[in-house]
Amino acid sequence: MAAFKNKDNGTWYVQFRYTDWKGERQQKLKRGFATKREALEWEREFLMEKQADVNMTFESFVALYERDIKPKLKLNTWLTAYGGGEWPLVRWPVATVRPEWPP
């Protein structure tokens, strides 16, 4: 993880490579951060989102899903269909969640 300072305008940027969900190497460049700390924080969050890990907790999966879907919906749809995010979150790994009930 490295952040670089743009000498032309004094802003910070991050440039790094990561492996996507298909196993292919990708390069990412994001510019325009006011501080080095902001740039590194953005990089950390990006990498956590792109991590293809089936051992993440269901709570983390739901939080990721919520961040992805909520901006695409109108507020009323979010409140009606998803209860405003008041979901009974569990702390089980996603790989152990099964559709059968009772267990």
Question: Coil, strand or helix: which one is 24?
Answer: coil
pLDDT averaged per 10 residues in sequence order, the chain, 103 residues: 90 92 89 94 82 67 79 81 58 58 55
How many whole angstroms separate alpha carbon 99 and alpha carbon 70?
24
- CB proximity list for 55: less than 8 A, separation 6 or greater: 93, 94, 95
State the pLDDT at residue 91.
47
pLDDT of residue 82: 66
